[in-house]
Amino acid sequence: MKKNPRPPTRAPQPRRDSPAGEASRAPRPVREDLVLQACLEAYGFVRHEGRLADRALDFTLRHKRNLYSNERRAVAERVYALLRRQRTVDFLLEHAHRGFIRLDKTRQDVLRLAASRILHGEPPEVVARTSALTGQDADALAALPTAARALESLPPEKRFAIAASLPDFLARRFREVFGADAERAAEAMNERAPLTARLNGFKGDREQLRALLEKEGVSVTPTPLSPLGLVLDTRTNAFSLDAFRDGWFELQDEGSQLLGMLVDAPPTRVVDACAGAGGKTLQLAVQMKNRGDLHALDVDEGRIDELRKRARRAGVHNVRTQVIPAEGPEADAALEPLKGKADRVLVDAPCSGTGTFRRKPDARYRLTPEMIEDHVARQKRLLERFSQMVKPGGRLIYGTCSILREENEAVVEDFLARHPDYSVRPVAEELGAELGAKVGPGPFLRLAPHQHGTDGFFGAILVRAK
């Protein structure tokens, strides 16, 4: 049976007194009944009510105040682990437990949580006991290895989708994109994502940040690709660190940092057209040395509010935020003053998020082929609209956190076919030959967890003729 012994999660961080203190205390024994109740509630919200996993866990853990920090962590880890393997677990239980699909929802979920723990390497008898499973239910857990053999004997296409816990249509797309590497790619998407910080260059350099974090008891290692990143011990509650409160770093995946590097924003006029809560905006402000005008636009007022808070903490002064309408003449009018004026326009487009399944394992079960088509249509519209702000000789940088060609290369090709005044600048020209060679192949940034250890990202630099 496949084992994934690393406890996966990017969930609400457990409360803790100090990062160093927690690591050095002997953990209290987990009160299994309370942990199971909390898991059932949070998982039920996601599976049966369609809520987002991070919000569901946040809600559950916020009102279950009696749980200790190690118990909170166990809840988050178990729920995320099951979400990563939901399809596999369902297949195994349907084979190991006659009548599984007729059981009531709660009993099914208790079995799912138990099977997932076994799949992640916990001994079946311990799991059965701590889940209070007896009789037919305990027998089903013991029969999981037989069910795993049934999975192995399926035709490869079918087996891949179930073993990787991907909907069939996504499994097919993984095969199209990654070919013989599809299984490795999907497995890496089912791993736990690292906790990665991006240095705020206004405060100092990466070595200084490293020293500060180590002084606070956090062990860190430099990111291999981004010169701005440090990987933090995943048990760290980054938000409680002094270095975070003092604006020394932001949490940002290494792939996202590399996409931000493609912009190479000069201290003139730059537009971050889909700025969200400002992950890349803050990075661009550093590139601009806090000078010039950095216009951060988004349709989501809540995210723009968050961006403003983060900018204050980071000591960023050159950002002008604007909430814009999504579509139509009003959206066009809002951009009119910036038409043909920007040296750089970043379109970090809304997408399927197929590159970020490590962090949002539940997203795959919500995604449909129709939703991907809608994303593509919107990406083309956004690129068209925001390209109008690029001045002659300026650059349009297009990015997604999708691994799908239709949202990436195909959108760029479609744009270039209608805009002969734009050409592709190979990312290696921006990142340097050595780093460029690692994030290719080809003229675009194309990152995937199994190859780069980052989330899946795509980036293209398009230059408007003078």
Instruction: Write out the two tokens for 12.
Output: 């609400």
Q: How far is the CB of 400 from ligand SAM (least distance, A)?
A: 7
Taking the least distance from each CB to ligand SAM, the nearer of 115 and 259 is 259
Nearer to ligand SAM, 93 or 349 (CB): 349
**Set 39, 274, 351, 401: catalytic member:** 401
The pair phi, psi for residue 227, each rounded to 5°, is -75, -5
Structure tokens at 72: 């909170």
> Nearest to ligand SAM by Cβ — which residue?
279
Q: Is 298 annotated as a binding residue?
A: yes
401 is catalytic: yes
Q: How far is the CB of 459 from ligand SAM (least distance, A)?
A: 12
Task: Give the whole-angstrom CA distance, residue 43 versus residue 55.
Answer: 11
- Least distance to ligand SAM from the beta carbon of 240, Å? 22
Q: Is 389 helix (H, G, I), strand (E, B) or coil?
A: coil
Q: How far apart are CA 281 and CA 38, in angstroms?
A: 37
Element (H, E) at 302: helix 301-314
- The nearer residue to ligand SAM, 92 or 261, going by C-beta atoms, is 261
CB of 303 to ligand SAM, least distance (A): 5
At residue 395, the 3 state secondary structure works out as: strand
Q: What are the residues binding ligand SAM (CB under 6 A)?
A: 256, 273-277, 279-280, 297-300, 303, 324, 326, 348, 350, 382
For ligand SAM, the closer CB: 117 or 198: 198
- State how far the Cα of 258 lies from the Cα of 454, in Å rounded to an integer: 10
Evaluate the CA torsion angle 395, 397, 398, 403 in order and state its sign: positive
Q: CA 100 → CA 49, 126, 193, distances in Å? A: 20, 21, 32
Count helices and strands in the chain by DSSP H and E runs: 24, 12
Active-site residue numbers?
A: 401
Binding residues: 298, 348
